Structure formats: structure tokens, C-alpha cells
């Protein structure tokens, strides 16, 4: 069952990437996605490898497909292929990261005292969700210019095309300030839900807000008939342990390789 769940999650991620892209081009072993409206978003400008390819070819594949772009990013969905490609990509100057696919196996949480609602992103920079996301993005990337922040926040609008139903969930204080958020991508016909971008604003951490939006996302996914509920966690960072305590278990890995040109 976990292997089947992993393949379904991978298929969902690949379809989501295609749907939210402005342009899709085939490359050996996979496809390139591009979106000039979010040129600084590596998520929207990268190569997805989901088929067989000689691992040593990947640096040349990326250079040919992403010529003229300021970065290179390759996501390899097969664990063995990703490990096999790592040495050649390291020699080509790529950094290597691991993504862990985790599926929810615990009970669906009961409603909490925190208010969680769906919000539109709102026009830059005025909507409460936009303001909160931009403020946190500046904390994560203090050297980023405002255009980069605008694109990394605004790319959520492209994500609306990625699944049948896409929601931005938020918890807020009594004064209306957004203090935590999460993306929820639903494909009810296939019974699949992906939860992403779970975070709390730094000044409001350790108050249960992130747990509230995660719980709210799980309840909405369950109510939509999505028995497969998954997310993707950084293989080296602490949130994967936080998710594990909330009923998520690892079922597989993907490999991400990135480099600035």
C-alpha cells in the first residue's frame, strides 16, 4: 500500500506541475516547466525527471533546456536514479537536497479553538494573507529584493490551476492579522489531497497556530473524500519530525538538485 500511495502522490505532483505551468517542454527522461511571470520561482522553472535517463547526462540536459535562465533546478522522482545522478551533478556544481513524501495515517483531528478560514491571496500588498506571507518571506530571505518577494508570494495564484480545488488556509489573531497558513490541493475524483507551505509567522510560533491550519486542512481533505492525504517535507529539516507526531509517515523520497548559473 505505501508504494502504491507513493506512486499516486508522485503522479499528482507531476500533474500539478504541468497544470500550473505556463509552458511545458519535453526533455530526456521528463519535462521542463517554465513560467516567465514567476521567473524567480524555482518551483515554476525547473526540470522534472520521471522516466529513464542516463544519470551522467543530466547536467547537459539541464544546460540545454534551461539555457539563458539564471538558475538550474532538477527534481528526480525515482530514489535510485536520484542517488545515481548525485555524483555527476555534484561535479557540475549542484547542491543536493532530499524531499520526503509523507502520508497521513492517523485519525483526522477534531476542530480546535483556533479559527481557520480560507482566504484569497488579495492584491499586492494589501490583503492580510499577502502581507503575512511577504513579511515571513523577508525574514527567510533578508537579502531578497521586493520583486523576488512579490513573485514568491504571488506564485500562489499560478497554483490555483494545479488541482481541481486549491485553497489557502489561514489562522488569525482577534485583530485579523494572519499568523499561520497552509496550501491545500484537492483532487476529489482521485481521492488525493496534498498539503503544503504549512508555516507560522515567527512572532507567533509555539502557540498552536500551525497545528490548527494543518488540522483544518486534514479535515477539509477528509470531508472531500480524499483518503490519500500527503505532504512533502525537507529530508534534513525538523518539520518532518513535527509532521510525524501528527500522524504522517514517510513513504518515499525524491531528489532535488539546484545551482545558480
Give per-10-residue mean pLDDT for the chain (261 aa): 84 98 98 96 98 97 95 97 98 98 92 80 84 94 96 96 97 84 97 96 82 95 97 92 96 96 72
Write out pLDDT tens, residues 36-89.
999 999 999 999 999 999 999 999 999 999 999 999 999 999 999 999 999 999
Q: What is the pLDDT of residue 1?
A: 45
* Short-list 188, 163, 171, CA closest to 19: 163
First to last CA, the chain: 40
Top-tier CATH class for 116-250: alpha beta
> Three-state SS for 258?
strand
φ, ψ (nearest 5 deg) of residue 243? -65, -40
Ranges of each domain in the chain: 2-102, 116-250
Alpha helices, DSSP H, located in the chain: 2-19, 58-65, 79-91, 128-140, 146-154, 156-159, 209-223, 239-244
DSSP 77-112: -SHHHHHHHHHHHHHTT-EEEEEEEEEE-SPPPPP-
Amino acid at each position: 500500500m505505501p508504494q502504491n500511495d507513493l506512486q499516486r502522490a508522485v503522479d499528482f505532483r507531476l500533474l500539478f506541475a504541468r497544470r500550473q505551468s505556463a509552458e511545458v517542454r519535453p526533455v530526456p527522461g521528463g519535462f521542463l516547466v517554465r513560467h516567465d511571470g514567476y521567473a524567480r520561482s524555482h518551483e515554476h522553472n525547473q526540470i522534472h525527471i520521471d522516466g529513464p535517463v542516463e544519470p551522467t547526462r543530466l547536467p547537459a540536459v539541464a544546460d540545454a533546456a534551461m539555457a539563458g535562465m539564471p538558475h538550474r533546478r532538477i527534481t528526480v522522482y525515482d530514489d535510485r536514479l536520484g542517488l545515481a545522478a548525485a555524483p555527476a551533478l555534484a561535479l557540475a556544481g549542484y547542491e543536493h537536497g532530499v524531499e520526503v513524501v509523507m502520508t497521513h495515517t492517523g485519525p483526522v483531528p477534531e476542530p480546535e479553538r483556533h479559527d481557520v478560514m480560507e482566504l484569497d491571496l488579495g492584491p499586492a500588498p494589501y490583503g492580510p494573507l499577502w502581507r503575512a506571507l511577504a513579511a515571513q518571506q523577508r525574514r527567510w530571505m533578508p537579502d531578497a529584493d521586493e520583486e523576488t518577494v512579490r513573485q514568491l508570494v504571488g506564485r500562489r495564484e499560478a497554483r490555483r490551476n494545479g488541482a481541481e480545488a486549491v485553497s489557502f488556509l489561514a489562522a488569525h489573531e482577534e485583530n485579523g492579522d494572519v499568523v499561520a497558513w497552509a496550501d491545500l490541493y484537492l483532487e476529489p475524483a482521485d481521492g488525493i489531497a496534498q498539503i503544503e507551505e504549512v508555516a507560522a509567522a515567527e512572532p507567533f510560533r509555539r502557540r498552536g497556530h500551525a497545528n490548527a491550519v494543518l488540522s483544518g486542512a486534514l479535515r477539509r481533505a477528509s470531508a472531500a473524500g480524499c483518503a490519500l492525504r500527503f505532504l512533502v517535507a525537507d529530508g534534513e529539516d525538523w518539520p518532518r519530525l513535527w509532521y510525524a507526531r501528527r500522524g504522517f509517515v514517510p513513504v518515499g523520497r525524491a531528489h532535488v538538485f539546484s545551482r545558480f548559473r
